[in-house]
Structure 1
Amino acid sequence: MRIAVRWLAALSAAVLCTSMASAQPYPNKPIKAIVPFAAGSATDQIGRAFTNKMAEVLGQPIIIENKPGVNGMLGADAVAKAAPDGYTILIGTNSTNAALKSLMKKLPYDQDTAFTPLGYMGSVPLIIAVNNDVPARTLREFVDLAKAKPNQVTFASASTSQLVSSEMLASMAGIQMTNVPYKSGPAAMTDLIGGQVNMFSADFAVMLPQVKGGKVRGLAVTSTRRSAAIPELPTVNEALGLKDYELIAYFAMFAPAGTPPEVVAKLNAAINAAAQSKDIQDKFAGIGFVVEPGSPEALAQRSKAETAKWAKAIRDAKIEPQ
């Protein structure tokens, strides 16, 4: 009888402790942020900077977990299927939350309904660059080279932005290139420097240091305006006499669908505080990163518009869903 009473008392205490813990205001334990791309990528660098600032605001550590694969799909899927309690969040991009729907024949989650928008972080253009041994000093010369050798010119890609920017270029310039897929941007960069691939279109975080260091040759930026970070590079439109070429990589945070509104509000406030931090703005100004604090509702509207925009870009580039 005494054993039963002790067991009941212990069980009651455990239930009481659990109830008290769950009643504590969010967050009361560490938060996991899944980066769906490899360590060293722009998503990883920006995500780590933001979550460090957010941890200061929230009073709990935010632990980064890199889960790369399938243009970010594996990491996004892990968040889509996580408990909607605010303790698992996604460092999302145009890959995971706009383009994958058009790039894949079937996703393991519904991209339109699987996530709760938390907040927009910012955007960054890409640089189109070639290996130093490629006999092209300008983007026009590179296009001429590719026209003379259909499908013999190779380009690397490890994300949606990298793939679509290159395929858009090929489609609009009337050239045919061969894609060489990689699991990470840094790995693709290593092979570009080594000459295993001819061309790579990647975000400033990955590409700019290599261009500035003379390891590869920058040809153009993918934005509609030249970047203050490297003003000597023309835009694709300038280099080729085009009007409508533009591709910008962006970053935003999402939680699983069903995350409570009060949790979303706290996370959004922390994201915006990080975006407004001078430390982060100064840290990434050199890679052309433009912060844009905003509400979860604004991110929801942006996600819809970007999904439609990327669907059109993928169709126009004649990229077949995998």
Structure 2
Amino acid sequence: MISLSTQCLRAAAFALVFAGLTSSASAQAPYPNRNITLVLPFAAGSGTDTTTRIISKELGTALGVSMVIENKPGASGSIAASYVARSAPDGYTLIVTTNTPHSANPYLLKNMTYDPIKDFTPIARTGDLPFMLVINPEIPANSVAELIALAKKEPGKFSYASGSSAAIVSGATFARLAGIDLLHVPYKSSPPALTDLIAGRVSMMFIDVLTGLPHVKGKALKALAVTTKQPSALLPHLPTMDATVKGFDITSWQGYLGPANMPKDIVTKLNAEIRKVVERPDVKSQLAERGMEAFSGTPEEFDAFLKEQLLVWEKLIANAGIEKQ
């Protein structure tokens, strides 16, 4: 007869073996086999948040798992970037990033808590989010030239809000190239900045088209120009900043990164599925309606682009005369 203690020992041993087999099977299961977290550097309602939700819904369906959106705004995207940089490189924690954390911060912040290149694995670029200059409708200006004239007439009266590096650099570049005195009012993200702009507590703002356009259509804001040197296909009726302020050319990009040293097979799979989603006509159309020019490419192309953008933003920030904070 087998004693009760012996039976308990056998049961415990069996449980350990079963747990080991289950763990091993889970580890060997094809990627992905559980939810993927997408960390965003900006608040809910921002352009990055809105476009990511469109793409991630289709991406989750393609991968057969849920995509969990986790907004971590603050410190110009550094909080989100640092969090992902220190996460396990297993493909289950990614960042949907922009030029703010990965192109501009090295030249805007004195204390960087991550390296924008060494601490990340490029996966796929997903497109550009053009910016536009919007003003409070109470300001009696219907063009960039008229706004400049008003600012020169009353130096220091007008202010610009910012909720991202593109907005910070655009405002400072505008002031320098136009020769006007503007007060900078920084915010953690674009939605609260827009609230104050609509209320008239600040005068103007450079904002991504996706976030700002609904307020322009609703007459709560007035749009004067796009920030890209070439006219935007999404807003063909708006002139460019460069048409009035020569040399003005700023845009915002978006893409997926993971922690450094992600397995190549996982990167390849994610890149392939992201590209399929982004290149779908229905998804492109949804994103275009919200102000995003969607396109993608290989991880290698994205890696080269990231390194190139560091040089572009270093020059933009130096030319704008912005000092590190």
Give the structure-1-normalised TM-score. 0.96
2:33 corresponds to: 28
Q: 1:1-322, aligned counterparts within 5 Å?
A: 1-2=5-6, 3-240=8-245, 242=246, 244-322=247-325
Cα offset for 1:282? 0.8
Judge conservation of contact 2:226–2:239 (CA < 8 Å) in 1: yes
Residue 14 of structure 1 deviates from its aligned partner by 1.2
Equivalent-residue separation in structure 2 for 1:66 and 1:232 (angstroms): 33
Stretch moving more, 140-149 or 259-268: 140-149
Instruction: Calculate percent identity across the aligned residue pairs.
Output: 37
Q: How many residues align?
A: 320
SS at match of 2:130: strand
Ranges of 4+ aligned residues in structure 1 off by more than 4 Å: none
2:104–2:313 CA contact under 8 A, matched in 1: yes
CA distance in 2 between partners of 1:261 and 1:90 (Å): 17
What's the CA shift string for 1:66-110, capped at 9, x where partnerless? 111111111111111110000001001011111111111121112
Unpaired segments of 5 or more residues in structure 2?
A: none
Shift of 1:287: 4.2
In 1, the alpha carbon distance for the partners of 2:145 and 2:207 equals 19
Equivalent-residue separation in structure 2 for 1:309 and 1:299 (angstroms) = 15
Deviation at residue 288 of structure 1 after TM alignment: 4.1
Question: CA RMSD, aligned part only?
Answer: 1.3
The answer to whether the 8 Å contact 1:227/1:288 transfers is: no
TM-score by length of 2: 0.95
TM-superposed deviation, 1:147: 2.3
CA distance in 1: counterparts of 2:39 and 2:82, whole angstroms:
10
1:174-233 CA distances to partner (integer Å, 9 max, x unpaired)? Answer: 122111111221111111111010001100011112112211111111011222333332
Using the alignment, how far apart are the partners of 1:314 and 1:187 within structure 2?
24
Greater gyration radius: 2
Separation in structure 1 between the aligned mates of residue 291 and residue 203 of structure 2, nearest angstrom:
24
Extract unaligned runs of 5+ from structure 1.
none
Counterpart CA distance in 1 for 2:131 and 2:225 is 9
| AA matched with 2:101 | T
Alpha-carbon distance in structure 2 between the residues aligned to 1:51 and 1:147: 46
Q: CA separation in 2, counterparts of 1:148 and 1:16?
A: 76
